[in-house]
Structure 1
């Protein structure tokens, strides 16, 4: 409990640090929100109209005043108003986040279902040709960029089968589950492929280390079956590095897979941040990045707590 309280106490400090970096960085990008929002029509504005828009969006003051106002609003749960959508930032983020969360969970499921058994197989067949084949496949998976795999999938479907991935308006899971799965399964496979390769290599390495430990040899000497030794004794301890990798990757996925969302035309969180940067939508960029950072910290905290569940010998600084 002491460890948990300490970690939670650090959250505000980290979020403030992230907010300052993002606040300054987005304002270093050339251009301004009004020009990005109106395009060529911005040149038709009179000085009075431009000044009125600057006041409305709160960009007429020095940056430290703008940051103070934004931070004061944040303490009251207000992330500001998006200059692109004309809606509260938090409302826009919560509209896009379910898609990103669902895509991250589906990608993670695919990666773990494929990667962990493949890693165990490669470790238990380490000196056989089949184990070498798994290692080569994992190396290929890690070396293939997501956007290349996505384009290959789309090309194969269109040229080989005459069909295209389900795109268009996104259908939430609770409205049309089948269409929702059809829209997300290919992006999830694209993201899960490289992650499954990483899980395979980590699982194999961890299993090789664990299988040489004394308690595994003791279990074998007591007559425990080979399957029991692997799945009941060795695998739980070998999963700790897999949990670490999964937590980091899941945090990145919750931030939005920008390229994959762009290729498959998914209105997720990553695509939202990219569009907000291009539109110089300061409030939306700040709010979305802060939301992503908060999710990342939550995931890391859950990973640390999962260590204890997997190995009770681990203590999280309670003393």
Structure 2
């Protein structure tokens, strides 16, 4: 396992390099000019050119990329074009909010979808299975941004139960206040996540219930609950671990969209603002950090797969 981890960590370097190269090229090819945010109608063209030179945007694209990459290797992601603040400080300041939102929704997704999938498979084609299937189809079909706006309209505007925007109430610093603000965005991500994971758990459990070891367990007099919890669950979760690693891009992109809807001060809202303002340094930093999170997530999924399935350990 240690060799696998070292190998995957070494593979991260060229992967991040390719991602940064492609992202930098796409950003530079995108329409728009970040200088426009500094330009006024009565500004002298020489002043505009001096601003361009001060930002290093007058150089060829490959020179800009090399300079940016050299600074990144030194731990310097540059300064934001829009607010002149260090990019790395802004990222580190907002990462906890994004990870907290993603981590909470992912934990609740697994906590709800796994038992619901087991129950639906155990009572296949009965009323509870049909009800949960219908609910999962709704969750898969509804776009995350639309569901978030529905929650805001119903629970915030009409009922007034939860705050609709922000991470904290002005002047409040308690954890309970932050948790109260997180209810709706976490519910938005959890509902869509549960719909996908539930389908996989249910399908895998149904296949496992047809295996000989399940029939043998029933023949020994074991209860259905005992067979599901002690034998079927572990085998049914193996494909879900792979799905978890593969779905991290959707989780992160969903968190970005949700943050913009609920004004959650995380990497997503920072990235959306940077895109509208053509803030290249911030966009590149968020892209790299997001890619790093995805790679680490897939690595953790592989490690968990190895721990749970002994057959994988024997092959290594």
Common topology (TM > 0.5): yes
Decide whether the 8 Å contact of 2:140 with 2:196 is kept in 1.
yes
User: Which residue of the other structure, out of 217, 220, 242, is the alignment partner of 1:219?
Assistant: 217
Decide whether the 8 Å contact of 2:144 with 2:258 is kept in 1.
yes
In the alignment, which residue of structure 2 is the partner of 1:153? 151
Unaligned runs of 5+ residues in structure 1 are none
Alignment partner of 1:108 is 2:106 = yes
Decide whether the 8 Å contact of 2:259 with 2:266 is kept in 1.
yes
User: Which residue of the other structure, out of 233, 236, 239, is the alignment partner of 1:238?
Assistant: 236
Residues of 1 paired with 2:83 and 2:241: CA distance? 38
TM-score (norm 1): 0.92
In the alignment, which residue of structure 2 is the partner of 1:128? 126
In the alignment, which residue of structure 2 is the partner of 1:14? 15
TM-score (norm 2): 0.92
In the alignment, which residue of structure 2 is the partner of 1:195? 193
In the alignment, which residue of structure 2 is the partner of 1:78? 76
In the alignment, which residue of structure 1 is the partner of 2:57? 59
1:167 Cα deviation from its structure 2 partner = 2.6
Cα gap change, 1:316 to 1:45, in 2 (>3 Å)? farther
In the alignment, which residue of structure 1 is the partner of 2:255? 257
Alignment partner of 1:178 is 2:176 = yes
Decide whether the 8 Å contact of 1:256 with 1:270 is kept in 2.
no
Greater mean deviation of Cα atoms: 199-208 or 259-268: 259-268
Decide whether the 8 Å contact of 2:144 with 2:254 is kept in 1.
no
1:159 Cα deviation from its structure 2 partner = 5.3
Residues of 2 paired with 1:317 and 1:150: CA distance? 45
Cα gap change, 1:175 to 1:108, in 2 (>3 Å)? same
Decide whether the 8 Å contact of 1:147 with 1:260 is kept in 2.
yes
Residues of 2 paired with 1:316 and 1:84: CA distance? 53
In the alignment, which residue of structure 1 is the partner of 2:34? 33
Cα gap change, 1:220 to 1:163, in 2 (>3 Å)? closer
Residues of 1 paired with 2:5 and 2:186: CA distance? 32
Decide whether the 8 Å contact of 1:252 with 1:296 is kept in 2.
no
Alignment partner of 1:24 is 2:22 = no
SS of residue paired to 1:257: helix
Decide whether the 8 Å contact of 2:167 with 2:181 is kept in 1.
no
In the alignment, which residue of structure 2 is the partner of 1:49? 47
SS of residue paired to 2:165: coil
1:239 Cα deviation from its structure 2 partner = 0.7
- How many residue pairs get aligned? The number is 314
Unaligned runs of 5+ residues in structure 2 are none
1:99 Cα deviation from its structure 2 partner = 0.7
